[in-house]
């Protein structure tokens, strides 16, 4: 039986005050994590061409940037390092004087109230640009896992508040958890890139992190774009291994995965709105094809509505400024 005319869903949409009252999902600054790229040198602020408004920063400039990020009320950053020197074993990844380790110490010394998360992977540090140690063209899983554990420890020793392994090797969460605990870092949480897809949306990031593989691609460890059940198995194994927060990456094209992961595990869930998602919106906005601010917020609210508790996004600063503006 039809419920019209006594039932009218538009009734709650006429008055803007009522609209605000019944909104189910609202973006907050507490949802935001800002990715940053640190490079060697001083006073370096290289614009990343394919990611307008983002820069490769030397440690001194990074500290300034972090002060601004904190003053905007953004609670956290995630750090990616571009080392001076790359080699087959990616040895700067776990060097106490590596670029990320220096950056963490500088931020921790100078910036208050900012959570420093570090990306843990080998691809920025290896001369071949792959996420692990190679034998011929194969990425060796277990050998890579032990280097990742060393890398995570060196980040924790430098003062990182949380580590985020992004490599997608099997067993790395357990290895990192054991290594951190053994070294006395049992309180450092692990945010695992649990369901990370082999995605074309990472294109601009590889400019930023200078981590394009010298040959081949990442399909032997990152997930196939067509798979959903497999994402559940990936997340399940990371949860069993001790992940504290699980991540889905990319975010916008994988909202169904975010939803399924949140429904199934009820874990604190992160989503990474990756460089390609960001750059497409920026580019369209620069051409006046879309209202950039409106689409930015819509993209972030959608990710949150799908179930994400936190969003890694290059829009973090823009979104924080927007939230200040609308709250006035
Ligand atoms: Zn990698």
Distance (Å) from CA 231 to ligand 1 centroid: 18
- Cβ atoms 275, 211 nearer than 8 A: no
The reported pLDDT for the residue numbered 206 is 85
Q: Tell me the three state secondary structure of residue 116.
A: strand
Task: Return phi, psi of residue 272, to 5°.
Answer: -105, 110
Catalytic: 328?
A: no
Element (H, E) at 229: helix 229-241
292 CA to centre of ligand 1 in angstroms: 30
In percent, the amount of the chain with pLDDT more than 70 equals 99
Asked if 184 and 252 count as a contact pair (C-beta separation under 8 A), the reply is no
- C-alpha distance from residue 182 to each of 55, 164, 185, 186 (Å): 36, 18, 7, 8
150 is catalytic: no
Q: What is the pLDDT of residues 264-286, one digit of tens each?
A: 999 999 999 999 999 999 999 99
Distance CA 200, CA 34 (A): 21
Task: List beta partners, residue 247.
Answer: 193, 270
CA of 110 to the centre of ligand 1 (A): 29
Of the residues 86, 108, 135, 249, which is catalytic?
Answer: 249
Specify the pLDDT at position 88.
Answer: 92
pLDDT band (50, 70, 90) for residue 327: confident
**Confidence category of residue 210, pLDDT binned at 50, 70, 90:** confident
Does the pLDDT of residue 1 top 80, yes or no? no
> Cα of 10 to ligand 1 centre, how many Å?
48
Residue 328, pLDDT above cutoff 70 = no
Other beta carbons within 10 Å of 300: 26
Q: Ramachandran region of residue 270, left (φ > 0), alpha (ψ -120 to 50) or beta? A: beta
**222 Cα: distance to centroid of ligand 1 (angstroms):** 9
Of 102, 196, 282, 304, catalytic: 196
Going from the Cα of 297 to the center of ligand 1, the distance in angstroms, rounded, reads 28
Ligand 1 centroid distance, CA of 309 (Å):
24
CA distance 317 to 251: 18
| SS3 state at 185 | coil
Which stretch of 32-41, 82-91, 239-248, 314-323 has the lowest confidence by average pLDDT? Answer: 82-91
Closest CA to 250 of 278, 229, 230: 278
Q: What is the pTM of this model?
A: 0.96
Counts of helices then strands in the chain (DSSP H, E): 11, 12
Instruction: Give the alpha-carbon dihedral of 264, 270, 275, 278, to 10 degrees.
Output: 90
């Amino acid at each position: 039986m039809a419920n019209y005319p006594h039932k009218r869903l538009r009734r709650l949409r006429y008055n803007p005050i009522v609209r605000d009252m019944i909104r189910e999902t609202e973006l907050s600054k507490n949802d935001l994590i800002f990715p940053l790229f640190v490079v060697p040198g001083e006073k370096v602020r290289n614009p990343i061409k394919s990611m307008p408004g983002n820069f490769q920063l030397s440690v001194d400039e990074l500290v300034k940037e972090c002060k601004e990020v904190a003053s905007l009320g953004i609670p956290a950053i995630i750090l990616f390092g571009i080392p001076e020197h790359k080699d087959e074993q990616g040895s700067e990844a776990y060097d106490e004087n590596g670029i990320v380790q220096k950056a963490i110490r500088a931020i921790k010394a100078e910036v208050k109230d900012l959570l420093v998360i570090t990306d843990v992977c080998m691809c920025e540090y290896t001369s071949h640009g792959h996420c692990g140690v190679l034998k011929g063209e194969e990425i060796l899983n277990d050998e890579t896992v032990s280097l990742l554990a060393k890398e995570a420890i060196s980040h924790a020793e430098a003062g990182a508040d949380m580590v985020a392994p992004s490599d997608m090797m099997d067993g790395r969460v357990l290895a990192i958890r054991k290594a951190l605990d053994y070294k006395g870092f049992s309180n450092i949480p692990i945010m695992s890139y649990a369901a990370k897809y082999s995605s074309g949306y990472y294109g601009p990031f590889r400019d930023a992190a200078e981590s394009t593989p010298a040959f081949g691609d990442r399909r032997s460890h990152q997930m196939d774009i067509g798979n959903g059940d497999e994402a559940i198995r990936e997340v399940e194994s990371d949860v069993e291994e001790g992940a504290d927060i699980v991540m889905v990456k990319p975010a916008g094209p994988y909202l169904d995965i975010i939803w399924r992961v949140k429904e199934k595990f009820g874990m604190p869930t992160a989503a990474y709105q990756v460089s390609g998602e960001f750059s497409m919106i920026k580019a369209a906005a620069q051409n006046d094809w879309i209202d950039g601010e409106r689409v930015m917020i819509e993209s972030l609210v959608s990710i949150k509505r799908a179930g994400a508790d936190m969003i890694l996004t290059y829009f973090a600063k823009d979104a924080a400024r927007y939230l200040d503006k609308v709250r006035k």
